[in-house]
Amino acid sequence: MPTLIAPSLLAADFGNLERDCNIVNNSTADWFHIDIMDGVFVPNISFGMPVLAAIQQHAKKPLDVHLMIVEPDRYIKTFHKLGAEILTVHLEACKHLHRNIQEIKSFGMKAGVALNPHTSIELLKDSIQDIDLVCLMSVNPGFGGQSFIKNTFAKTKELSQLIEETNSSCLIEIDGGVTNQNAAQLIKCGADVLVAGSHVFKSENPLEKIKTLKNII
């Protein structure tokens, strides 16, 4: 399967959101990655429902919504209404992960589970069969523009092995500090989806950066 590219709008210019949505629409990227932060689960607040509604008006590709919020179960229905096709909750934020995954799927969305850099792959053993996507955080969640944590390579391999052993069809997404410097190695380790914020939107030529990431292997 070709690697999927999901530019993160967190690094977009919010004064020109329509323009930046169109960059993704007109690029070889596959999904829009949308980072929702509540200032409690992570030490930053990004944006909420009204901004996502504006994005929904302009985006012509699937919305991959990454919830960095406590009690994400309170908002599953809302994010469905706002057009999320993939809805990712953090394992660390869910007391009843199994129930939350089932509820996401009951709305017809793909269910994603994100792991912080310190969270072990082992904890996914009993739910991997039910999950559509695991998002491995390769930075501590909360901010764009941070440096990639190298232990993610080993974690990606370990997750890839678990998926193979259990015959799961779950995708591996890598989120944080992804650039054309680490993309090839991530893909070799088993990554299926690469999220990239700053690397794309803080560059002179976002379309070119997306194209390069898409064609890396």
> Given the rule CB under 5 A, which residues bind Zn ion?
35, 66, 175
Closer residue to ligand DX5 (CB): 5 or 163:
5
DSSP string spanning 71-88? SGGGGHHHHHHTTEEEEE
Catalytic sites, residue numbers: 35, 175
Strands 32-37 and 4-7: unpaired
Closer residue to Zn ion (CB): 164 or 172:
172
50, two tokens: 């009204």
Q: Is 113 in the site for ligand DX5 (CB under 6 A)?
A: no
HEC assignment per residue over 93-109: HCCCHHHHHHHHHHCCC
What are the residue ranges of helices labelled H in the chain? 17-25, 49-58, 76-81, 97-106, 151-165, 183-189, 198-201, 206-214
Closer residue to Zn ion (CB): 76 or 125:
76
Binding mask 6-25 for ligand DX5 (x = CB under 6 A): --x-xx--------------
For ligand DX5, the binding residues in 29-68 under the rule CB under 6 A are: 33, 35, 66
Distances (CA, A) of 140 to 112, 116, 147: 18, 6, 10
Contacting residue, 72, 83, 112, 176, with ligand DX5 by CB under 6 A: 176
Residue 176's binding partner among ligand DX5, Zn ion, none (Cβ under 5 to 8 angstroms by kind) is ligand DX5
| Locus of tokens 């999901």 | 6
Q: Which residues bind ligand DX5 (CB under 6 A)?
A: 8, 10-11, 33, 35, 66, 139, 141-146, 175-178, 195-199
